[in-house]
Chain A
Amino acid sequence: MATAVIDFDLRRRPRGLLVPGGYPRALLLLRWAGRPVGQLTLPVENGRIDETRLERALAEWADWAFWSAWLKDVVGSEAAGDAPAPTATVAVCTRERPDDLVRCLEAVRSLQPSPLDVVVVDNRPATSRTREVVARFPSFRYARQDEGGLNAARNRALREARGDVVAFTDDDAVVDPGWLTALLRNFDDPRVLCTTGLTMPAQLDTEAQELFEAYSPFGRGFYRRVFDLERASPLAVGPVGAGANMALRRSVPALVGEFDEALDGGTPTRSGGDHEMYSRILAAGFQIVYEPAALSWHRHRRSMDELRETLRGYGTGVYAMWTRALVEGRELGVFKQAWAWLRYGQVPELARAITGRTRRLPLGLLAAEWRGCLAGPLAYFAARRQAAARRR
C-alpha cells in the first residue's frame, strides 16, 4: 500500500484532483497562499479524489491554522519591524549520496531570495563523487571534513559560514523556495538562537516509508511554537524539531558551545546531536522557534533494513544524549524523562505491537529501538573517548 504525496494550494485549487500512478490514497499537504496549514489523507478512486468527499473533508478539517492564514491573506499581514533581516548561509552536510545531493542543491539554488553563501561539507568521503556534484554549482563552496561524524561536519559548517544565521538541510531533503525566508523571519528576536521547520515526506512509496511517517514523522504540526525554559523541559526536546531542517545563529558556539562531536551519525551514538544542542540552548535560557512555514520535503529510507537501523540509531541517540546530560550537566530530570517515555510511549507501543490491535510498528522494529536505547549510555562513553582521541 503506497500513498501519493500531493502539494496542494487551496487558493489555486483546480476543480478536479487527479492522482496519477495508481495510488490507492493520497496525503495532501494543504497550503493557503503558499503557507502550509494542514494535511489530509484521502482515498483515491479511479485515479482521482472525489470532489464532494474532498469538500466535506476540508469543511471538517478547517482549523485555526487554516483560518489565520486565510485571514492574513484577506486583510494583509502585520507590519514587520524595522530590524534588518540577518544574512544567511545554507549548509548541507553529506556523505556519499550524490543523487540525493543533486536534488537537494538544485532546490537550494531555487531559494527566493538566495542566501549569502552555500557550503557543502563532505564528511569522510570514500570517493570524489560529492566534490564532482558540488562542482556543478559554481557559486557553492565545497569543504572536506575528514575527521569525526555529522556533528563534526556541522561544526565545520558553522566555522565556514559567512552569514549571521546558518540554515542546515539534509542531503536527502528538498527545500521549498520560501524555506529560508520563513526560517530567518524568526531571528528578529535576540532571544532566539535556533529555528526549526516543517519536514514533510517527499514520497511514501514503500512500507518502510509509511511506517516511518506514521511512527516518527519529522513534521511537528502546523502551528508556530516557541520553546523556552518556561514552556519546555530542556530534556524533552523531541517536539522542537530535527537537524534535517533547522537554522542556528552563527554565534551559537560562542554562547552555548559547539555541537558535541561525540554525538550523532558517524559515531557510536548514531543520532541525538541536534537534540542535545536544542537541550543546551534551552538550558542556557534562550529560545527555539518551530516555524511550520519553513517547509522541506524529506525522502525517508525505502527499505525495512534501513528503517530498522534508523530506529535503532534514534534509541541510541536519545539515551546517549540523556547520559551526557546526566554526567556533564548533573541533570537528574533524565530519570523522569526516561520513565515517562517508557511508561507513556514505549510500553504501550510494545503492548499494541504484541496484541496486534492496531496497525502500528511491527515488533521487530520496536525491538530495534529498545536495543538502541540499551546501547545508548555505553555508546556515549565510547564515542566520547574517540572524540577525545581525535582532538589529541
Chain B
Amino acid sequence: MPTSRAPQPLKPPELRRTCDPASLAFATTEELEDFADVLGQARAVEAIKFGVGIERDGYNLYAMGPEGIGRHTIVRRHLESRARERETPADWCYVFEFGSPDRPRALRLPAGRAATFRDDMQRLVEDLRTGIPGAFETDEYRTRLHEIEAEFESRHEKAVEAVGDKAKEQSIALVRTPGGFGFAPMHKDKVMSPDEFHALSEAKQKKYQEAIAELEQELAHAIQEVPRIRREAQHKVRELNRQVIGATVTSLIEEMKAAYAPLPAVVDYLGRVHEDVLDHAEFFRQTKEGEQRTLLGIPLHDSEGESPLGRYQVNVLIEHEAGSGAPIVYEDNPTHDNLVGRIEHLAQMGTLVTNFMLIKAGAFHRANGGYLVLDALKVLQQPFAWEALKRAMRSREIRTESLGQMLSLVTTVGLKPEPIAFDQKVVLVGERLFYYLLQAYDPEFPELFKVAADFEEDIERGPGSDALYARVIATIARREKLRPVDRAGVARLIEQGARAAGDAGRLSVAMQDLIDLMRESDYFAGGAGRKVVEAADVDRAVAAREDRQSRIRERVREQMQKGTLLIDTAGSRTGQVNGLSVVQLGEFAFGMPSRITARVRLGSGGVVDIEREAELGGPLHSKGVMILSGFLAGRYATDHPLSLAATLVFEQNYGGVEGDSASCAELCALLSALADAPLAQSIAMTGSVNQHGDVQAIGGVNEKIEGFFDLCQARGLTGGQAVVIPAANVRHLMLRRDVVEAVAAGRFRVYPVRTVDEALEILSGVPAGERDALGHFPAGSLNLRVEQRLATFAERVRAFAAGPPGRKLWRRGKPK
C-alpha cells in the first residue's frame, strides 16, 4: 500500500490574518493626527506631479484606476497646490468686428480688466449719446446741412429747369404732369391748345415734334443724373456728420485709448470704434432711450448686441480676479457645446437671430491658462465631445461653433467667432480599460496624453501600513463628521480592507468603499447609542451590507437545501466532485458549489467539455479542460494512444461558466471515473491545474470557501466537511470570523494542495502514488488504476483497429 502524503488542514491563524487591537497605540481615532498625504499612491502622485509640472505640448494627464480610489480628490489636491503658484490667466472678451460682423473679434485683457473695459465702453457710448446729438444741434451743422440739401435741390431742379429754359427758347413749355414732366408748344406764353396746334402747318407741327423729342431726351438725361446727384449729396452729408462729431468722438476715444495704451489689440479696436462711430453718427441720434423699436407695428425685442448701439458693447467671456491663480475646471457634463462654448439665439418674428453678445463660454474658455479635469467615459459618451477635445488640444485653439454648424446641418447665417488660443492642461480621469483602448485604437491619444498616473488598488499590509490606515480612518471620520472609531473598530476596518483587497497581505485603498463602510458603521453606532464606533458596529455594517445584497445567494442556497440543485455534502461517488464558483452581482460576489461530473468510455475523442459543446463555456474554461487531455496523455499514455472518450459537465449550469478555477476539480472527477474511485462529497475543491498536474492559484478564494461553508452549516457541520484550495491561495485567505471559529472548533477544514495528487488523496482517501525508479506506480495506488484503465482502452482500440481476420480475407478474395 503506498503511503499517503496528503497535506494537513490549515490552522485558524492561516485562515484570517487578524489585526490585533493591542498593536494599535491609541484608544480612539480622535487621538490620531490627520493624514494629509495619499495612502499607497506614490507612483500615481509622482506621475501627477510630473504631468502637472512639465509645461510642454502633449504632456496631459490620464489618471487611471478603478472607481472609488480617490483619483479626483488626489488630482484636484495637486492641481490646487500648483494652481495657486501660477499666474492668473488673461480675461477674454468678444467684441463686434466692424469689417465682418459675422466674425466677432476676441480681445485678450489682463486678469480683472475685462469687466472694467466693458464698463468703460458702456460709459463711452453713453457719453457719445449725449455728445453727438449736441453736435448736431449747432447752427453750424444746420447751416451746412442746408447748404448741401439746397445744393442738391437746386442742382437737380436746375438741371430740369435748364431743359425748360432751352425749351422756352424754342417756344416749348415744360409742364409738370401727375407722373413727371411733359413738353408742349407755346403760343403767347401759354401752352398751345390742340386747335391752335392743328392750325399750324404740317412742317411746323413736325418741327415742334422733333424739337420736343430732342428735349425729352435731354430731360431724360437730366433726370437720370438725379440719383447720382443724390448719392453725392448723401456722401457729403456723411462727411459733414463725421466732421461735426469728429471733435467730440475723437476726444472721448483718445482718452480711452490712453487708458488702454499698453494693450495694442484694445487700442486697435478703439481705433475701429472711432471710425465706425464717425460713419454711423445717425445711431446716436435715433431711438430715444426707452423707446422700443418696432417692425410693422410689432415691438422688436432688442437684445444687447442687436440694437444699433449694441455693436459697441463688450461680451465678457471669461473674467478672473487678479491674483486668484490658475483656474481648475471640472466639467461634469462634457457635451460638445459645454466644452467649446455656445452661441445662443433669440427668437424674433419667428426666426432665430444671434449676435456676438450671445456667445457663451465653455469649459475650454473657463479652464484656459489652468487645468481642465474631465471624466474619460463621459467625454467618450458625448457625441463629438472627444473629437472637439482633441481638435482643440491639437490645434491649440478654441473654436466656438455649434454641432449643427460643424456638421453642416444648419445652413442659416451664424457667427464664426475668432478662435481663442487653447492653453491649458487636460486631466482625464478614467478606468484603465479606456486608457488601453484609447492607446490601441486612437493614434492621436498617445501624442496628446503622454503622462499616465496609474492608481494602485491596494498596498502591502504590515504594522506600518496599519498605523497609516488608522490615521486615514481618523481623517475620514473628522472630515465626514463621523463618530471616532475605537481601537477594535479600526482593527476590524483594517481586516475589512484586507478582505476587500482579496489578499490577507494587502490593504485596499479604495477610499470610497472605506468611507461608505465607516458611514454605515457610524449609523449603527448611533442606533446603539454609542459615542464611538466599535468593532461590533463594523461587523454589523458588513453583515447588513451583505444581507441587503444576498437575496439571490439565499435563493440558490434554498434550492440546494430543497434538493432542486443537486449538491451532496455527505457520502461519496465516483466521477463526481463539488467544484466552487463565484457569482458576481454588481459589487456583491458570493461563492457557491457546483456539481462536476465526468464519464469515461472507450474512444478517441479525448476529453469533451459539454459546456463548450453547448456554447455555455467561455474560452478560459475550455482551455482548462484541454489542459486535462494534455495532463492525461503526458502522465498515463506516453507510449500508447490516449484511447479515451470522456465527458465533463457542470451539472445544472444554465447560465454559462467561465474561468479555469474548476479545472483541478474536473481532473479529480475524471481520474475518479477512470480509476473507479469514489470521491468524498463532503469536500469541495477549487484550483486550476497545469499539464504537469500542479495546482495553481485562483481568484475569489474567500467567497468560494464561505459559499460551501454556508451550505454545510445550513445542513449541519459534521467535522468531515472541507474545502481544498491551491496552496498558492493561502496568503489570500481572509475568511469570515464564523468560518475561522468553525475550523478552530474542528467542525470544518481547509486543505491547501500543491498537486492534483494531493487533492485526489484528500478527496478519495486513496494514495495517489508516485512512479518508482522503474517508472511504475505502486500497486493499489490511484494513479496505477488510471494507467491500467487507459492501457486497457488502448489495447481494445488496437484490437478494434485490427478487425476480425475473416473479413479481411473475404475482401481480398472477392471475385472481380
Answer whether A and B are interacting partners. no
